[in-house]
């Protein structure tokens, strides 16, 4: 079974996180949610989520995919956390899938993973990273890097992640059951 890690910080966009978690699980993917600290965390719209574990307890070798939801100030918390940057770099070095949505592609850029790569994000979130080839489509894939624009693209983003970890048939099956 494929395994995904979703990171969550105080102020992360809960719609993006929960959509990804839900759709990945519908696709038969084992999902672990790791918080920057232990205990309940409050999302950007004040929804409280209880992560399964903390970022200190996870190891890149245990996952096929890492996903970062956006939202503020959650993205800033992820960007400022050296553990997150190291984990992203390690996942990328291992050839694993690395994904971020909304403002969170800026965390990938901070980690040096988007230099010369195509990516999309919430408008303005990558402006300070001129080496990124910014796109405006809902989901952008560049090798093992997958980015998306924001809450409105979360379902397309999550379905793309299912397809990358499984196959097109599984994505289609999950999407059909969603009655989109």
Taken in order of first residue, the domains within the chain and their CATH numbers are 3-169 (3.40.50.880)
pLDDT of residue 134: 96
d(CA 38, CA 41): 8
Distance between the two ends of the chain, CA-based, in angstroms? Answer: 26
* Tens-digit pLDDT profile for residues 83-120: 999 999 999 999 999 999 999 999 999 999 999 999 99
Residue 61 exposed, middle or buried by CB count within 10 Å (0-12, 13-18, 19+): exposed
Using 70 as the pLDDT threshold, list the residues of the chain that sit under it: none
Q: What 8-state DSSP symbol labels residue 79?
A: H
pLDDT of residue 61: 87
pLDDT of residue 144: 98
Element (H, E) at 75: helix 74-79
The catalytic site residues sit at 102
pLDDT of residue 77: 98
pLDDT of residue 60: 83
């Amino acid at each position: 079974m494929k395994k995904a890690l979703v990171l969550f910080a105080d102020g992360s966009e809960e719609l993006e996180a929960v959509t990804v978690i839900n759709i990945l699980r519908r696709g038969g993917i084992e999902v672990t949610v790791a918080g920057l600290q232990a205990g309940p965390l409050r999302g950007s719209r004040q929804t409280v989520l209880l992560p399964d574990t903390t970022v200190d307890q996870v190891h890149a070798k245990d996952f096929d995919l890492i996903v970062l939801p956006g939202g503020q100030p959650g993205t800033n918390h992820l960007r400022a956390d050296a553990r997150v940057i190291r984990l992203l770099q390690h996942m990328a070095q291992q050839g694993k899938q690395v994904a971020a949505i909304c403002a969170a592609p800026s965390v990938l850029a901070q980690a040096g993973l988007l230099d010369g790569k195509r990516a999309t994000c919430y408008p303005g979130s990558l402006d300070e990273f001129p080496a990124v080839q910014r796109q405006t489509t809902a989901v952008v894939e560049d090798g093992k890097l997958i980015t998306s624009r924001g809450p409105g693209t979360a379902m397309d983003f999550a379905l793309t992640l299912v397809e990358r970890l499984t196959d097109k048939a599984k994505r289609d099956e999950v999407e059909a059951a969603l009655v989109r």
